[in-house]
Structure 1
């Protein structure tokens, strides 16, 4: 027997291996033999989700499973649909019995998330959860109106509770929590109703607080942060998302005394660079930083973070419109930083790279950062190599979001070498680009990543193959007519003007001119090239604003693990070659038809699809519409549309 096989025969080693497996791998391992099935099912049962209105449906098919393996369930989520959360009439007795049946079969439960309709009283949760939650350590609920007496009874029954999450907590409720559960160290509250003094009083009685989340508190002031800073010095998790009344002196007071901080969310707040510099200097353990929509931040604060916080794993800078691409490049002198808008391309291209200190980053979101420079777009073009070079150094990246930029990313032209180093990337978002990319380019981008499981883009972000060929032919005709090659820029800050006789005269004297791109009649805007976007109806093209169809949702693709690994379509192939390739059986993309609408008005909508070498299947509609029927991927529990239960990749806590 080989040594590797002997090692797998040791239960302890096998359990360690199973603990590191993904959900799909565990399911496959459970089919090997009965022993592997027993160990795999034990791990799978640790997390259980009962979605889609748990209290209103028949779950009798679940009881036999829980009778056999309920003792292994450690985390449980009971979910509701949006309509059920607003239900006005609920059978409270049936809900109580359903909840009691579930919790009585899971005696070792440690984490529980219960979603209930808006009108349900807190007494129901107190009665059932308090009776069965002897080992409960984390409790989360969507209950909106808690009575302090009900919370006291619940905490009395759940003596080991350490983490409590909910909505609309009042000051009285905070005091009840402190009195009933003095060992509580983590609390999350959305839309809290307590004031500054009540939060300070709570912090004073819980000096060992590790986690504090008070998101969407519109009246929380700097006074509260300063008060917390006087008592809580062990914070590891801090969430102040959408707290608009906070100021810099409060941020700095609390962050300066939080050396153990690992998670920080200051999205949609008035945080400034000076506050983020304090984080960089005082929080060396930081692992996750979320700063979406922080309009006061610039590259100064972000540079301090990425060079000082070496343990950073997750960074979200989405839609911080004052942050520029200079976070990836390091100017040779301070003066050059202030002269970006007036520097020449030659000086910009010579900017040296300054590697980030957080090379272990696993998730990076730079969607919508200020990536275009209106004064001189060539400067932004010169900074693109710095961006892709730095991203290429982050070889542990699993998630990368580059959507919403103000210019065409030119991913293959400038970023192929850097991006191809991201061999562990699983999720990529390039949606809502200013200029669409050819379909072959989308495929080639996806094929750069061998482990890709999700690729986000919109149908309107794609130039169909035939449209790309027609556009190239139109450009060639214009080039032949004017006698020289058109310079194709990366940016479309200015629309091209029609050719006039004066322009021809200027050309004969060596002057500059603006050349249009002739577009075939009837072509939609979504099929135009990324460098020029206007439509024509006659011989003299007139620039016009493109009319975009409304986006229904972002493009999310569905993985097909058993799909064959196919090569990408060559960008430089001709129209005839493309059509011949599509006729082949082993083509990498195919045209399919999707039927929508009522039976008496069935229409055929053409869909372009492709299978990437990772096995991921991507698709888009040629008419530019993104519909739910093209949506796919993991996370759907049950089979055949039947309401069921399942095991998630991660619990929604």
Structure 2
């Protein structure tokens, strides 16, 4: 590969970086093969983040090690993940885990971010291995449960550039070790902490430069802690108190008056009131992300204040705030946050006081407002206790959200026909995730008929031989109308009454130009049958397949969606559940 001629615009490093940085991974891989210059810049993105999924210390990583000999210097972020079953497995091999971790980190000299998942029984001494081999570390996240303050001090002493530490079950000793050895720390995130309120107050007094402070699931923090933050930490930009139920409104009032630089706020499952969130709208004009799920004290008053004042808002989660009504979409007060990318209004307008008539009144306004969010990438409308009227009222506006990647319509009040589900999914060319339940779907009629026939052994109905013959010929007629993909021939062979086995219907179908059922399948209801054949022809456009009672089809975006004919949800094992943390967009191995 040769260098591009310097007269080309793309040879200018700054322009080339801007172009390469917006390419998707597939295009980026291809671009890396064009020339040395493109390869040099592309590899910095392709290998910037590496994710090792499921049981990172049990894999043979020799192939990865060979790659890291050439690419290891550009890796900035590493996520080491575990399957849930491995995480709870007793008696882990500590020595093997340490050797694998040391072998990995020694090949990544410029590593800055590490997300480390370990078995539950592992001790915090594992962080000493990190301290030995990751001197450039700036961000450290882990799910360790058993902490020793000496290990934390060793890590922060060996890695003086650490600015973020996130973990579970931090003790008062851990907070003291952090404040003593790393006073320049700017971000901390603690879930299920076991430190007391006095330890926390001492900690924030010693770290006045904190810009991120997140504490989740701590019922011992009171208004006293909020007053301490308001007094000492004026630089806070990212604040979170998820599921901290002892915090009161007076503390929030003092905090939001002092911390006016907030960009991210998470008060999910908290006791925040309208007055608190209205104060955020007035004091924090630069707010970009607001998470308020399950805040039962909030109404439409505070949410209206937010969406009309915070013009830079990109992320809004008010899911399951049951007292928030659809009047937040009042056409007389349009939203000012037109750059919104994430919106979750699942479960709103659900309290006993909310009337269905109010929902129907504001539903058109809701869709008009949603249609203005041209940058919207994720929309969640789950669990709404009123009819969405997606096709009648929503289509003109929702179909214009061309950047939408994730759509959630689970727990519909009124199930939708499968054809409608597919049509909605096809509105969005970049759709990556489409969430609905099998019970949200009305299966196509011909699929139900074929499924019912399949449940009858050999097509025989006890005591009704004539009915058995009719079922066999009906089945053959349905099969004759069902084509298969990939060039397979249409099946039109009927099974005789004396046959021991019946031919199953084809599991995949495409549109048949002139479906011709067998003569025996004709009935006197020609009009109804004509409508049935028309429905079959229309639905076969989607190239559905039916396997083991599951109907599948592929949308125009390439996303495959499915539902169970029985309406029951598929039970997945824990091992099949993807881990939600880590570094999105990284290179999985």
Normalising to structure 1: TM-score of the pair?
Answer: 0.73
TM superposition shift of 1:9: 3.9
TM superposition shift of 1:196: 1.6
1:511 maps to: none
| Structure 1 residues 55 and 378, CA gap change in structure 2 (3 angstroms) | same
Corresponding residue to 1:394 among 373, 376, 380: 373
Report 1:414-563 matches (<5 A): 414-466=393-445
- Structure 2 gaps, min length 5: 450-509, 511-529
TM superposition shift of 1:293: 0.5
TM superposition shift of 1:121: 1.8
2:537 maps to: 580
2:552 maps to: 609
Corresponding residue to 2:22 among 13, 20, 23: 20
1:592 maps to: 546
2:291 maps to: 290
TM superposition shift of 1:445: 1.4
Q: Deviations over 1:452-508 (max 9, x none)?
A: 2221111110112228999xxxxxxxxxxxxxxxxxxxxxxxxxxxxxxxxxxxxxx
1:538 maps to: none
- Structure 1 gaps, min length 5: 330-351, 471-563, 565-572, 594-603, 638-645
2:472 maps to: none
CA contact (8 A) 1:243 1:269 kept: yes
87-96 vs 134-143, which moves further: 87-96
> Does the residue aligned with 2:287 lie in a helix, a strand or coil?
coil
2:231 maps to: 230
CA contact (8 A) 1:619 1:630 kept: no
CA contact (8 A) 1:236 1:261 kept: yes
Separation of aligned partners in 2, 1:372 and 1:420: 30
TM superposition shift of 1:263: 0.6
1:649 maps to: 585
CA contact (8 A) 2:446 2:536 kept: no
| Structure 1 residues 279 and 377, CA gap change in structure 2 (3 angstroms) | same
| Structure 1 residues 271 and 356, CA gap change in structure 2 (3 angstroms) | same
CA contact (8 A) 1:307 1:356 kept: yes
TM superposition shift of 1:302: 0.3
2:479 maps to: none
CA contact (8 A) 1:320 1:369 kept: yes
TM superposition shift of 1:38: 4.3
Separation of aligned partners in 1, 2:353 and 2:177: 56
| Structure 1 residues 4 and 434, CA gap change in structure 2 (3 angstroms) | farther
| Structure 1 residues 94 and 379, CA gap change in structure 2 (3 angstroms) | closer
1:69 maps to: 71
| Structure 1 residues 581 and 299, CA gap change in structure 2 (3 angstroms) | closer
The reply to whether residue 624 of structure 1 matches residue 567 of structure 2 is yes
Separation of aligned partners in 1, 2:140 and 2:227: 28
CA contact (8 A) 2:346 2:383 kept: yes
Separation of aligned partners in 2, 1:271 and 1:47: 37
CA contact (8 A) 2:300 2:325 kept: yes
Separation of aligned partners in 2, 1:222 and 1:113: 32
> Does the residue aligned with 1:318 lie in a helix, a strand or coil?
coil
| Structure 1 residues 320 and 201, CA gap change in structure 2 (3 angstroms) | same
1:408 maps to: 387
Q: Deviations over 1:553-572 (max 9, x none)?
A: xxxxxxxxxxx9xxxxxxxx
Q: Deviations over 1:3-46 (max 9, x none)?
A: 99933344442222111223333234335556544432331111
1:379 maps to: 358
TM superposition shift of 1:574: 3.4
1:301 maps to: 302
Separation of aligned partners in 2, 1:452 and 1:181: 43
Separation of aligned partners in 2, 1:4 and 1:624: 62
CA contact (8 A) 2:50 2:586 kept: no
CA contact (8 A) 1:45 1:73 kept: yes
> Does the residue aligned with 2:544 lie in a helix, a strand or coil?
strand
TM superposition shift of 1:328: 0.5
> Does the residue aligned with 1:592 lie in a helix, a strand or coil?
strand
CA contact (8 A) 2:545 2:553 kept: no
TM superposition shift of 1:59: 1.4
1:79 maps to: 81
TM superposition shift of 1:375: 7.9
Q: Deviations over 1:521-570 (max 9, x none)?
A: xxxxxxxxxxxxxxxxxxxxxxxxxxxxxxxxxxxxxxxxxxx9xxxxxx
CA contact (8 A) 1:259 1:282 kept: yes
1:92 maps to: 94
CA contact (8 A) 2:47 2:587 kept: no
CA contact (8 A) 1:75 1:651 kept: no
Separation of aligned partners in 2, 1:469 and 1:395: 39
Aligned length: 504
Separation of aligned partners in 1, 2:573 and 2:558: 16
> Does the residue aligned with 2:259 lie in a helix, a strand or coil?
coil
> Does the residue aligned with 2:385 lie in a helix, a strand or coil?
coil
CA contact (8 A) 2:130 2:155 kept: yes
TM superposition shift of 1:153: 1.2
Separation of aligned partners in 2, 1:376 and 1:259: 37
Normalising to structure 2: TM-score of the pair?
Answer: 0.80
TM superposition shift of 1:107: 0.4
Report 1:137-216 matches (<5 A): 137-216=138-217
Q: Deviations over 1:600-637 (max 9, x none)?
A: xxxx42x3333333333322221213337999x99899
Q: Deviations over 1:273-316 (max 9, x none)?
A: 00001100111111000000000000001000000111000000
CA contact (8 A) 2:323 2:354 kept: no
| Structure 1 residues 428 and 9, CA gap change in structure 2 (3 angstroms) | same
TM superposition shift of 1:141: 1.3
> Does the residue aligned with 1:383 lie in a helix, a strand or coil?
helix
TM superposition shift of 1:96: 1.4
Separation of aligned partners in 1, 2:44 and 2:79: 18
1:118 maps to: 120
CA contact (8 A) 2:410 2:435 kept: yes
Separation of aligned partners in 1, 2:246 and 2:281: 23
| Structure 1 residues 114 and 44, CA gap change in structure 2 (3 angstroms) | same
